[in-house]
Structure 1
Amino acid sequence: MSKFEVAKEILLKNSNVQLTDVGYQSGYYDQAHFAKEFKKMSGQNAKYFGPLCPI
């Protein structure tokens, strides 16, 4: 499973998680790399993905 897929799973399962922790738990070196790759792969910022998305 790719780092991106791991990050997606974490975000979908946990609505009360900090994005920095998601990045590190999924294997990214730092928050900037996680944020950049997540946006590139999903087309949206991680903070607006899944349950973190304000309705």
Structure 2
Amino acid sequence: MRTSSSPGPNRTGKTWLACAFGPRAARLGHSVLYLRMPRLFDDLAMARPDGLPAPHR
């Protein structure tokens, strides 16, 4: 598994790149998950140490 994060200043094309690379990686057989930071933080806050999915709200 490889992860990618794109920190940087506003309006520099981070989302554009993610939207371009994600579908290409999926076509090549990779799993792709695109989350905005607030959703990622919510998911991490609900993460379980046993690796099971967090219950949906």
TM over 0.5: no
Larger CA Rg, structure 1 vs 2: 2
Q: Given the two structures, how large is their TM-score scaled by the length of structure 1?
A: 0.30
